[in-house]
Amino acid sequence: MKDESTNQKKSRITDIIKILKEEYPNSSCSLKYESPFQLLVATILSAQCTDERVNKVTSVLFEKYSNAESFRKLSNEQIEKEIFSTGFYRNKAKSIKNISEEICEKYDGIVPKTLESLVKLRGVGRKTANVVLGNAFNIPGLVVDTHVIRIANLLKFVITKNAVVIERELSKIIEKKEWTNFGHLCIDHGRAVCIARKPNCVKCGISNYCPSKI
DNA sequence: CTCCCGATAT
DNA sequence: ATATCAGGAG
């Protein structure tokens, strides 16, 4: 596994994706939303928080406030109270308030559909932008979250925690049409088998492709 | 790099 | 007690 070439990486990750697809055939976004804006808010809330908890919060939240216009009218304190249990609630409330204003003023209430525009929104980084592009707009988005960072390193496709570098390196070896699903597969696999605290290599279907196999 | 931060599993 | 959860800004 020394000095693996780009073509060798392409071949290995293609095999890995094929296996993961068989293991997680229904892999998809686990956040609940009914519009690009709702997915944007849910993804901001998902930072360092389980999707399960985010869904509990948003199921109540989106019932009361469904779009950028309605969120814009809320105070930071009102938003904080609603999202408190997701953690980082001050920063998240500030971000939600801000993107609601920006989207109303600059984009007429419509969430922009490019990575560059999304990332310019305060509180929206590449990870969140790629989630929205891939899931709400069906535009390939390579999400590099905590699971992708961990799994890409264990598989030795990269040796860095830098998300921008990982996104760049993975984009070279994964077909564009697979970008969005790759994120979902890593999240499913990361939650069920390649768990952060204790990877379950015995039950791992791609352990034969993993240099870190215990 | 640090800070933001509650909920949960171990 | 501690690590971890679909991160982002300074």
A119 touches strand B (CB under 7 A): no
Stated in angstroms, how far is A90 CA from B6 C1'? 12
Question: Block means of pLDDT (10 residues each) for chain A, length 214 residues?
Answer: 86 98 96 98 98 98 97 98 98 98 97 98 98 98 97 96 96 97 97 96 97 94
Closest Cα to residue A79, out of A63, A61, A67? A61
Encoded tokens for A180: 């969005």
For tokens 């922009």, what's the residue? A112
Shortest-distance nucleotide from A91 CA to C1': B4
What is residue A181's predicted lDDT score, i.e. its pLDDT?
97
Stated in angstroms, how far is A103 CA from B8 C1'? 34
Which bases of strand C have any atom within 7 Å of the beta carbon of a protein residue?
3-9
Stated in angstroms, how far is A27 CA from B7 C1'? 25
- Give me the sign of the Cα torsion angle A124, A31, A100, A104: positive
Q: Where in chain A is the domain with CATH 1.10.340.30?
A: 36-136
What is residue A3's predicted lDDT score, i.e. its pLDDT?
77
What is residue A2's predicted lDDT score, i.e. its pLDDT?
62
Residues of A serving a catalytic function are 127, 145
Residue ranges of alpha helices (H) inside A24-162 are: 36-45, 51-64, 68-72, 76-83, 89-107, 115-120, 126-136, 146-154
pTM over 0.85: yes
The CATH number given to A6-28+143-209 is 1.10.1670.10
Q: Where in chain A is the domain with CATH 1.10.1670.10?
A: 6-28+143-209
What is residue A26's predicted lDDT score, i.e. its pLDDT?
94
Stated in angstroms, how far is A161 CA from C1 C1'? 26
Residue at minimum CA to C1' distance from nucleotide B9: A197
Type of residue at A29? C
Question: What's the CATH architecture for A36-136?
Answer: Orthogonal Bundle (1.10)
